[in-house]
Amino acid sequence: MIILDSLTEFQRLYGTGKKWLRCMEAVNNVENIRPGVFHSVGDSLVYRLASGAEPQRAEFEGHRRYFDVHYYLEGSEDIEFAAKSRLNIFAPYSDETDRELFTGSGEKITARKGHVIIFENHEASRFRPEKNVKKVILKVTIEESYFLNK
């Protein structure tokens, strides 16, 4: 998991690369979208606005074809994450949903307003959302991926 303190830090680290520029395009469009409606930018990114507490899953969720990027506009929520290799498979990977579910325990952090969190594909996570959370959830293809700080 990559935890960035601000959108400015995200832009500084990932300001190049087509898919990362598309993330900024999506974030800049947040005033024009309704909560829960998926939008896309090109063929490498889908995004939506999440507002308020969403249903909580007991299991950890992991992905293989897309990175999840969460940009927090308001509020906070607790996130628990762990390497998939340290967790137990609950539901095997589905290519249709790009989702696999796990049980176990992991490290906990609290994401707050302004944070940008990038969930890497070797990890799985679960959330303890608060009612006051508002965030943009971006699903970014892993193709041609790179992380400058690794």
The three-class DSSP label of residue 150 is coil
For every residue of 100-130, DSSP letters joined together read: EEEES--EEEEEETT-EEEE-TTEEEEEEE-
pTM of the full structure: 0.88
pLDDT number for residue 136: 92
Q: What is the pLDDT along the chain (150 residues), one digit of tens a residue?
A: 999 999 999 988 887 777 788 888 888 888 888 777 888 887 778 899 988 766 778 999 999 999 899 999 999 999 999 999 999 999 999 999 999 999 999 999 999 999 999 999 999 999 987 778 999 999 988 875 444 443
* Radius of gyration, CA atoms only, the chain: 15
Length of the chain as a residue count: 150
- Residue 66: Cβ within 10 Å count: 19
